[in-house]
Structure 1
């Protein structure tokens, strides 16, 4: 196997974490806030409660996803930009977007397909960005 901590690209992890976190803010606050609110059955202009969990939760999950992608990239010996994009797409579609759809189809989401499209595409794009940054830096 490999030395998990020693083989990780910590600069790539830091960059991927920041990029994924910033993408989330841009995605949900600037690009799709009204559609996201509609997907949750809220008024399109509703503002989220700015609690510590609201800020820390998504950042923490972005960090976990980024570190997990770094571990998998090292284990799989991803060593080209093309392999990184492919890896990001596989993880993004196969795990992140698929799990988002699975979460959305429970009865608590009034518009599950809209929620899955918005959140799933964010996770897919974030996964590709993380994979590319892990490879490039």
Structure 2
């Protein structure tokens, strides 16, 4: 049977950190380029609906739990190793998925969409891995 203990306080703190980083990124750093990538200038300065707050929170929790399980499973317990893992999984899964989502007919400017979203997902994964490793 597979059993693995993870630090749920670290998971909670990481999830909150990702939510705060996401709010700063999408509401403070890139709101205009994001709207431009979607050709939806009506989104700028618009208050987000509850799903746009709860959805990323839940997704951040899922990513954080996955990171916690993988870091423990691979016995990654030093910050440099955690950041390498975060970079590899961030680029290999999250950044690649952002660009894959972007290249569909509903995203009018896929390269811009990927270019402005990918850095957040890579950075958030690095932050998640750092918090989880700092709080074993």
Q: TM-score range by the shorter chain?
A: over 0.9
Q: TM-score, normalised by structure 2?
A: 0.92
Q: CA deviation at 1:82?
A: 0.5
Change beyond 3 A, Cα 1:86–1:60: same
Alignment partner, residue 27 of structure 1? 25
Structure 2 unaligned regions, length at least 5? none
Structure 2: distance between partners of 1:78 and 1:133: 13
Measured after TM superposition, the shift of residue 120 of structure 1 is 1.1
Specify the alignment match of 1:3 in structure 2.
3
Candidates 60, 63, 87, aligned match of 1:62: 60
Which contiguous aligned blocks of 4+ residues in structure 1 show a shift greater than 4 angstroms? Answer: none
| Whole-angstrom CA distance in 2 between matches of 1:44 and 1:118 | 18
**Could you list the runs of 5+ residues in structure 1 that have no partner in the other structure?**
none
Residues 100 and 116 of structure 1 are in contact (CA less than 8 Å); yes or no, is this contact kept in structure 2? yes
Q: CA separation in 2, counterparts of 1:106 and 1:84? A: 33
Question: More deviation in 122-131 or 37-46?
Answer: 37-46
Which residue of structure 2 aligns with residue 12 of structure 1? 10
Residue correspondence of structure 1 range 91-110 to structure 2 within 5 A:
91-110=89-108
Residue 12 of structure 1: CA displacement? 1.6
Partner in structure 2 of residue 128 of structure 1: 126
Match of 2:77 in 1: 79
CA RMSD between the two structures: 1.6
